[in-house]
Amino acid sequence: MLLSAAMSFTEWKILKPPVFIGLGNFVAMFKDKIFWLSLYNTAYYTFLGVPIYLVASLLTALLLNRGSKSMPIYRTIYFMPSLTPAVANALLWVWIFHPDFGLANVALYKLGLPAQKWLFDAGLAKGCLIFMGLWGIGQTVVIFLAGLQGVPVELHEAAAIDGDSNQQRFWRLTLPMLSPTIFFNLVIGMISSFQVFATAFIATNGGPEDATLFYLLYLYRNAFQYFKMGYASALAWALCAIIMFFTWVQFRVARRLVYYEGEETR
């Protein structure tokens, strides 16, 4: 990290000694249209994908939070896809979204709908990658499930005696008690989404028309394709600053929205 911080103030093309240029890389960054495009693509993926993943994970955890004897089997089934390596996962979905023989277009054909280009369509590619991310929500589901099972049963019983419906208990009891878990998954999910790389690198390589050129993929290109190690280091530290800023904002907001049992209400 210290080396990359030092390199961010240099022009270093690996084969030649680094040359100190001060803030030159950071100035060039703000003038770089591809930098802003990659930042927009990443922000789009983060601020649309993370809420979808959180809601899907919470709904799945609610379905799995039951006392059925076969429930451990279902929990295992829902968790297993998250263990799939990123490369295998991406290749599977590339096949599903293939415009000629993919299962997605086969399903559209059965429904009488026109075929789509999916990953080869600039307007659909980011949405496809967000949908692909649903395959790996198993770990988040497990965390939500643990949070749900940590809600005291006696509180639900007391609320039921008072006449609260299941919906009322969810909004007034379960969700506030689950707010620390939601906050944790939100922070981790946002940090991870800002660093999305493997899926886009394998499935689209930033295309079509740079629609899926995410920040980390652009950083990778500068470092290992263009051999601009100094500029890539500056990009890395800019990403670090962006992630720290949004994490700080979430912690500030959490002071008012997150409830911890035993704490005095603010």
Q: pLDDT digits over 160-194, tens only?
A: 888 878 888 888 888 989 999 999 999 999 999 99
Q: Is 10 left (phi over 0), alpha (psi -120 to 50) or beta?
A: beta
Average pLDDT over residues 14-38: 94
208 preceded by cis ω (within 30°)? yes
DSSP 3-state assignment of 130?
helix
Whether the predicted pLDDT of 264 surpasses 70 = no
Q: Does the predicted TM-score (pTM) go above 0.85?
A: yes
Q: Residue 69 — very low, low, confident or very high, per pLDDT cuts 50/70/90?
A: confident
Tell me the β-bridge partners of 20. Answer: 10
Whether the predicted pLDDT of 137 surpasses 90 = yes
Amino acid residing at 134:
L
The answer to whether 27 touches 9, Cβ cutoff 8 Å, is no
Proportion of the chain in helix, strand, coil states, percent, rounded to 5: 70, 0, 30
